[in-house]
Chain A
Amino acid sequence: MYTTDMSGNKKAEVVAEDPEELAAFEARVANDEFIEPKDWMPEAYRKTLVRQMSQHAHSEIVGMLPEGNWISRAPNLRRKAILLAKVQDEGGHGLYLYAAAETLGTSRDEMTEALLSGKAKYSTIFNYPTLTWADIGAIGWLVDGAAIMNQVPLQRTSYGPYARAMVRICKEESFHQRQGYEIMMHLAVGTPEQKRMAQDALNRWWWPSLMMFGPPDEKSPNTAQSMRWRIKRDTNDELRQKFVDITVPQAEAIGLTVPDDKLKWNEERGAYDFGEVDWEEFAAVVRGEGPVAKERLQARQKAWDDGAWVREAARVHAEKRANAKVAAE
């Protein structure tokens, strides 16, 4: 899964840095070199990365909820095993990214706290509910599809640990998208009711998926700096266009209709023209007004609280055993 850059309206703050070190850093990045944890980096770069990587990690973790909701109700054992593996992968993605973000000096607990307090964001897409089994198909196909589009360029992002985590993640995402498309494919040739279910899921997930690429370029003031720092490698609108161009034929191939009456192939551009995303809705979901935003955070809070005694007991037990070992020696 992927996080949208929701910092849209805030300009990254400028801290006075040593101009010589800054110039050397900028040159290295411009030269496509990788920056590693102990290397000098501007404070704004560190902050932007922590925000982006932790948002991304939170998205993977919160993203387990809408799909986890269907594991016990998957239509057969094959689908159940696949969904279980997929959701486990998302947990893994969250962990790779938290570990990579920790190399920047922010602890795991600090990041968890930021998520639970609402200070840190996660992708708006997960604040929509999964109403039917077809939603699991639509999520794999569209949401993981959009995630792949966002993530592939990040394998060459300038921060080494982030880039390496992204390589690992991208290897795993492609199965996610294919299993989702396969679900949709089967529903689309099923009973009229199943086909309706697939179309309904596409109708509900299409626009939120387009929102995953973030606000339009002219409303994304940090894009230029993030591109210069190779934290971002393509603009939001470029990726959104690419996603539409790739996905529309996939929908047509299985007889489903993309819910956009402005959608039209533009011969001249060699790309689809498409309707305007409802940015009001996007802004509302970013503000935390998504249909199931409260449930999502409550679920994370409950997991954190319910696990507190386990974390504590394991820690104390290990300490005791270590002490006993020292005493015995």
Chain B
Amino acid sequence: MSDPSKEWPLWEVFVRGKGGLSHRHAGSVHAVDAKMALEHARDTYTRRMEGVSLWVLPSAQIVASDPGDAGPLFEPAEDKVYRHPTFYKIPDGITHI
């Protein structure tokens, strides 16, 4: 039977597509340490010049918000329409604003 303590840990892989862009989640790899995780990330997620830089971090280190909290976390923004420029009526003829 499989022994979970013997399975290589999981790492999340983030790829910067090109200079000027932020790193974006691509998937995950198994590796014993950070160096191997980078090597596996390179072989698995950048075989066609998909990136110029890689980040890897242990999946266990990611702290995620709970989908059940999506309401309290994100809904309060919905009634703050004054955060958007379209909320403000500017008369025709006024330009560059």
Q: Which residues of A contact B (CB under 8 A)?
A: 36, 38-40, 85, 88-89, 92, 95-96, 99-100, 102, 107-110, 112-113, 164-165, 168, 172, 311-312, 314-315, 317-318, 321-322
Contact = CB atoms under 8 A, between A and B. Distances in A.
B90 interface: no
Contact of B2 (A92, A95, A107, A315): A107
Nearest to B40: A95
Contacts, number: 57
A157 to B, nearest CB: 16
A102 B4 CA distance: 13
Most chain B CB within 10 A, of A89, A92, A317, is at A92
Interface residues of B, number: 22
Nearest to B32: A318
What is the interface of chain A mostly: helix, strand, loop, or mixed? helix
A97 to B, nearest CB: 10
A318 B4 contact: no
Given A102-B28, A314-B32, A38 B66 contact: yes
Contacts of B43: 92
Nearest to B8: A315
A102 B28 CA distance: 10
Given A99-B27, A99-B29, A113-B1, A315 B67 contact: no
A92 B32 contact: no
Nearest to B64: A38
B28 A99 contact: yes
Nearest to A165: B27
Contacts of A39: 67
A110 B2 CA distance: 6
Nearest 3 CB-CB pairs, A to B?
A109-B2, A318-B32, A318-B33
